[in-house]
Amino acid sequence: MIKLFGLGLVVMLFVPSSAWSKIGGNDVKFRPSGADTVVFSHNIHTARAVKCNECHYKVYSTVGHKGKLTMADMQKNQSCGVCHNGQRTFDVKDRNNCSKCHK
């Protein structure tokens, strides 16, 4: 009976931890007024070694960020512009990069 309990405990601890270890998530689509849809891919960002906490709770206050994202703010190195500033990765100020986000 004790062995069965121990095995059950190990399974309970192992199964959730493997589910929590999944990195990434679904694509998030935004429809800014006057612009084409923006597709944010968690998988692309995590594949490039961006850690979750680099955006969640630092750049964005919550996981389900509902705030308004504007190009003006991004060009002031806010929201996506924190990284997309021409130093860490492509610059949101460069019009040649529009199609990288706007699909």
Q: What are the structural domains of the chain?
A: 22-100 (3.90.10.10)
Q: Tell me: the pLDDT tens digits for 12-71?
A: 444 443 344 456 678 888 877 778 888 888 888 888 878 888 888 777 765 555 667 788
Q: How far apart are CA 58 and CA 82, in angstroms?
A: 10
Query: Which pLDDT score, from 0 to 100, does residue 19 have?
Result: 41
C-beta separation of 97 from 89 below 8 A: no
Length of the chain: 103
Q: How far apart are CA 59 and CA 56, in angstroms?
A: 6
* pTM score of the predicted model: 0.66
Q: How far apart are CA 31 and CA 29, in angstroms?
A: 7
Q: Is 25 helix (H, G, I), strand (E, B) or coil?
A: coil
Is beta strand 38-40 parallel, antiparallel or unpaired with respect to 28-30? antiparallel
